[in-house]
């Protein structure tokens, strides 16, 4: 019997009631914990936590992640630059270089910019003030409604609604249903961040494309980095970079779960009206857990 996939769900925020801390991802945690393998055993063992720096400023789990008992790190980088110490980042990089699976996501403008010191890992994310999108035509505001947020801020729809995704062909395993068809929907968000393939990484590709509900502009939703061809167990793990954490937040799966008080955009109800949209993000989450598992 295979051991459960040991997943660390981690935010870069300190615990707080009125923020996007780990308690705002309870539906994701519950769904992962509910998954079973073919024999009916738990597929995943999930640990969910916010950042808890010690008196040296380091998170005791992240800074020693390469020595911890995890297969995958799902990192929700939701800070504005103070979310990871140098030792935290070094622990994450060692974990990844030793074959651990790594999922990273953030949101608009400069949210999650503490990812940038992580070398190749951070390079998958484009920000406003650093590592901007190399396509200068994309360095402009897409969401004109929430005026205090600047680019990247792709408007895929309201929180609580869903967007139709365009899978890049050939269809990636992350986007396949049990019958081999493509999932169609992700939760939407008024101002998603930007992800892309760093120059020179032939083993990485954009696999899912969204479209702005305001400008009609296409943008990357998911970039996946596979193990380099010919790699072995000492090679880096697989990596997935996602345009926004809102694809996974409780509020975007079910607006009745509530949100921090600073969220002022009116929500939608598309996820509640179309059960297939929730089924599709559930399928993607299960695929993500399986695909990132170290070999």
Question: For the segment 37-93, what is each residue's pLDDT rounded down to a tens digit?
Answer: 999 999 999 999 999 999 999 999 999 999 999 999 999 999 999 999 999 999 999
In this model, does residue 2 exceed pLDDT 80? no
Q: What is the average pLDDT across 268-291?
A: 98
What single DSSP character describes residue 279?
A: H
Question: For the segment 11-48, what is each residue's pLDDT rounded down to a tens digit?
Answer: 999 999 999 999 999 999 999 999 999 999 999 999 99
Q: In the chain, pLDDT over 90 holds for what percent of residues?
A: 94
Instruction: State whether residue 59 is helix, strand or coil.
Output: coil
pLDDT in the model for residue 229: 67
Length reported for the chain: 295
Q: What tokens were used for 162?
A: 């869903």
Question: For the segment 222-235, what is each residue's pLDDT rounded down to a tens digit?
Answer: 999 998 765 555 67
Instruction: Return d(Cα 213, Cα 148) in angstroms, integer.
Output: 19
Burial class of residue 286 (count of CB atoms within 10 Å of its CB; 0-12, 13-18, 19+): middle
The pTM score is 0.97
Domains in the chain, CATH or no CATH each: 5-292 (3.40.50)
In this model, does residue 132 exceed pLDDT 90? yes
Give the number of C-alpha atoms closer than 13 A to the C-alpha of residue 137, restricted to the C-beta side. Answer: 3
**Residue written as token pair 């951070």:** 122
């Amino acid at each position: 019997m295979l051991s459960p996939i040991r997943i660390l769900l981690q935010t870069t925020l300190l615990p707080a009631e009125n923020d996007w801390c780990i308690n705002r991802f309870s539906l994701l945690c519950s769904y992962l914990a509910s998954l079973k393998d073919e024999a009916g055993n738990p597929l995943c063992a999930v640990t969910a936590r916010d950042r808890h720096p010690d008196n040296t400023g380091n998170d005791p789990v992240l800074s020693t992640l390469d020595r911890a008992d995890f297969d995958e790190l799902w990192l929700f980088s939701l800070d504005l630059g103070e979310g990871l110490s140098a030792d935290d980042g070094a622990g994450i990089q060692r974990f990844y270089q030793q074959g651990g699976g790594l999922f990273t996501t953030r949101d608009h403008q400069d949210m999650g910019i503490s990812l940038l010191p992580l070398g190749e890992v951070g390079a998958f994310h484009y920000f406003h003030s650093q590592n901007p999108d190399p396509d200068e035509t994309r360095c402009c505001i897409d969401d004109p409604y929430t005026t205090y947020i600047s680019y990247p801020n792709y408007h895929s729809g309201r929180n609580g609604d869903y967007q139709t995704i365009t899978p890049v062909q050939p269809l990636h395993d992350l986007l396949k249903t049990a019958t081999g068809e493509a999932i169609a929907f992700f939760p939407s968000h008024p101002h998603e961040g930007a992800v892309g393939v760093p120059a020179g990484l032939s083993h990485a590709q954009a696999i899912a494309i969204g479209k702005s509900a305001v400008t009609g502009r296409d943008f990357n939703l998911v970039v996946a980095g596979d193990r380099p061809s010919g790699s072995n167990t000492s090679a880096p793990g697989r990596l997935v970079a996602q345009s926004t954490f809102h694809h996974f937040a409780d509020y975007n799966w079910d607006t009745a779960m509530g949100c921090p008080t600073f969220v002022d955009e009116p929500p939608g109800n598309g996820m509640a009206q179309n059960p297939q949209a929730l089924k599709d993000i559930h399928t993607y989450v299960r695929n993500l857990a399986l695909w990132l598992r170290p070999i």
